[in-house]
Structure 1
Amino acid sequence: MVSRATRLLLLLQLAIAMLLYLAARHWLGFASPLAATAFALFTIVAVRLAIAANNFGIAWLYRSATPHAHRLQWTAALRLFFEEFWASMASSSWTMAFCGFEHWTEGDPDLPPVLLIHGYGCNSGYWHSMSRALRRAGISHHALDLEPVFAGIDEFVPQVHLAIEAICGSSGRDRLIIVAHSMGGLVARAYLRRHGAGRILKVITLGTPHRGTGLANFGLGPNSAQMRWTGSAADGQCSAWLRELDSDEDVSLRKLFISLYSHHDNIVSPQLSSHLPGATNVELHGIGHVALALHPSVQSRVIEEIRAAAGKLNPTMA
């Protein structure tokens, strides 16, 4: 569904660009076809830039305090913005439209297999860059498309359960590692609540709103409502679903989690919502929400954690 939707949006943007080109040529006095084309493309990009800026603006309203060590100079802030814009463009205009995958990618049998779980409004194509990094590292992995897109988070659990059982069956391994982005981390927690950790060696979450996000107030569907944060960073609260998840969980399982998050996340805000008590929390800065799984430093850390888990599973490798 997401791949079809993103392709339709691309066609819509192309149609609008063509109309802008015709308007520039016939009504705005552009004599050069090249100038009219540049005008049309610039307008489309400008709208996309405005959407990205709007996300950062809303995130600013709900933001948590940024530790002094993670504050950015204006040049780094500009780099953050444009890297996040590029990541959003690459994901929404290419990889989610044309690079989705649900196939099993074989790797080193001594390393644990990985299940990649995407976030809200995405599909497996979001993991295209991470998948290339995992292939280079020799790590077996599988991704899935969570459907229907706007279902409740618990409704995704059976699909995840089937994928986990299939991976363990095909790989001959008893346990695997989940790497999850954004809402995908909440899906992983919902899976553990229902099925326990018998199949799970480690869960690595990237920018997961463990305590909700203010931007979910503007989303669609039950899953968006379940991720909501209302009020300020200091005095607000997360949704009833998140509070129930927190109270129902086996807290001892939090030691399986590694939460990587950015103090400059433009979708998860308050940003400290991604800090999961009892887990290993890794603070990052200067990286936007969509860019997390595309960023080389994050990919390196994920691969490092997978190899570390392999060492614990097979002490002779350590």
Structure 2
Amino acid sequence: MVTRYMRYLLLAQCLVAAGLVVLQITVLHVRNAWLALAISIVLVVLVRLSITANSFRLAWRFRSETPVPARINLRQTTRLFCTEFLASMLSSSWSMAFHAFEKKPARHPVGLPVLLIHGYGCNSGYWRSLSRRLSAANITHHAVNLEPVLADIDSYVPSVEQAITTLIHDTGSDQVVLVAHSMGGLVARACLRAHGDNRIAKVIMLGTPHHGTALARHGIGINAQQMRCNADKAGMVPSDWLQQLNRCEDIAHRAMMVSIYSHHDNIVAPQRSCHLDGATNIAVQGIGHVALALDQGVQQQVIDEIRSVRVPPRARRNRSTS
């Protein structure tokens, strides 16, 4: 479904650009068709730029106080904006539109297999960049598509549980590692709440709003409502769903979680919402929300966390005979 929507979005942008070309030639009497096309493309890109800029504007309004060592200068801020814009363009207009996938088996698998869980409004194509790094590292990985797009977060749990079952069946492993982005991290936690951790060795989350995000008030769907929080100088008040999720987890579950997040996230604000007590929290700087899974440094951190999981003897034996 998301694949189709992304292709429609790309088609709409192309049609708008074509319409602007016609308008310039017929009404504004621009004689050079190539110039008219260039101007049209620039206008479409400017609209997309304004969308990214607006997300940073809203995130700035509800931002957390950035620790002094993590503060960035003008050059780094410019790089932050540009990489986030490019990541958004690449994901929405290319990866999610044309590169959704289900299974990526490694020829000579190393370590536990991985299940990738995308975030709000995305599909498995979002993971294309990380998938290539995982394949290069000989890590077998599958991906799940969470649909319907605007459904309750708990309603995604059966799909994730089935994907875990398939991954275990295909690899012969006893356990898997979950790697999730944004809302996908909440789905992974909901899966742990519903089914326990017998088949899950570690949960690695990127930019997950564990205590909600003020920007979710601008989203639509039940899942957006569940990710909302009221944020002011007095603190954060997560949604009832998030509060219930946070109350039900024990120390053992939190110990198997890793939360990687950016002090400059432009979707999760306040950014400290990504910090999860009891989990391993890894904060980075100068990286936007969509760009997290596309950043090479973050990708290496994810791979290091996957490799750090001790593979049970039975899992090693199963894979060696499969």
Q: Smaller-chain TM-score range?
A: over 0.9
TM-score by length of 2: 0.95
Match of 1:134 in 2: 134
Deviation at 1:231, TM superposition (A): 2.8
Contact 1:64/1:233 (8 A) holds in 2: no
- Whole-Å separation in 2 of the counterparts to 1:245 and 1:306: 25
Q: CA deviation digits over 1:53-104, x for unaligned, max 9? A: 0000011111100000010100100000000000000000000000000124
Match of 2:157 in 1: 157
Q: Please give the secondary structure, in 2, of the residue aligned with 1:309.
A: coil
- Whole-Å separation in 1 of the counterparts to 2:103 and 2:204: 21
The reply on whether 1:52 has 2:48 as its aligned counterpart is no
Match of 1:253 in 2: 253
Q: Please give the secondary structure, in 2, of the residue aligned with 1:204.
A: strand
Q: Tell me the amino acid that sits aligned with residue 15 of structure 1.
A: L
Match of 2:292 in 1: 292
Q: Tell me the amino acid that sits aligned with residue 258 of structure 1.
A: V
Match of 1:263 in 2: 263
Q: Please give the secondary structure, in 1, of the residue aligned with 2:309.
A: helix
1:160-175 correspondence runs (5 A): 160-175=160-175
Q: Please give the secondary structure, in 2, of the residue aligned with 1:211.
A: coil
- Whole-Å separation in 1 of the counterparts to 2:196 and 2:117: 17
Q: Which moved more, 1:107-116 or 1:89-98?
A: 107-116
Match of 2:199 in 1: 199
- Whole-Å separation in 1 of the counterparts to 2:210 and 2:234: 16
Cα 1:11–1:110 shift into 2, 3 Å:
closer
Contact 2:178/2:188 (8 A) holds in 1: yes
Q: CA deviation digits over 1:131-155, x for unaligned, max 9? A: 0000000000000110111110000
- Whole-Å separation in 1 of the counterparts to 2:104 and 2:304: 21
In the comparison of the two structures, how many residue pairs are matched? 314
* Structure 2 gap segments, 5+ residues each: 317-322
Q: Please give the secondary structure, in 2, of the residue aligned with 1:264.
A: coil
Contact 1:63/1:233 (8 A) holds in 2: no
1:89-104 correspondence runs (5 A): 89-104=89-104
Match of 2:213 in 1: 213
TM-score by length of 1: 0.96
1:272-287 correspondence runs (5 A): 272-287=272-287
Match of 1:35 in 2: 35
Q: CA deviation digits over 1:190-210, x for unaligned, max 9? A: 000010000011110000000
The reply on whether 1:224 has 2:224 as its aligned counterpart is yes
Q: CA deviation digits over 1:290-309, x for unaligned, max 9? A: 00000000111111111111
Match of 2:2 in 1: 2
Q: Which moved more, 1:231-240 or 1:6-15?
A: 231-240
Contact 2:168/2:175 (8 A) holds in 1: yes
Q: CA deviation digits over 1:217-248, x for unaligned, max 9? A: 01011000000011315433110000011112
Contact 2:261/2:283 (8 A) holds in 1: yes
Contact 2:263/2:271 (8 A) holds in 1: yes
The reply on whether 1:244 has 2:236 as its aligned counterpart is no
Contact 1:62/1:270 (8 A) holds in 2: yes
Q: Tell me the amino acid that sits aligned with residue 199 of structure 1.
A: R
Contact 1:193/1:250 (8 A) holds in 2: no
Runs of 4+ in 1 over 6 A off after TM superposition: none
* Structure 1 gap segments, 5+ residues each: none
Contact 1:118/1:124 (8 A) holds in 2: yes
Q: Tell me the amino acid that sits aligned with residue 155 of structure 2.
A: E
- Whole-Å separation in 1 of the counterparts to 2:151 and 2:253: 26
Q: CA deviation digits over 1:260-300, x for unaligned, max 9? A: 00000000100010001000000100000000000000111
Deviation at 1:25, TM superposition (A): 1.1
Contact 1:24/1:39 (8 A) holds in 2: no
Deviation at 1:34, TM superposition (A): 1.4
Match of 1:307 in 2: 307
- Whole-Å separation in 1 of the counterparts to 2:183 and 2:74: 30
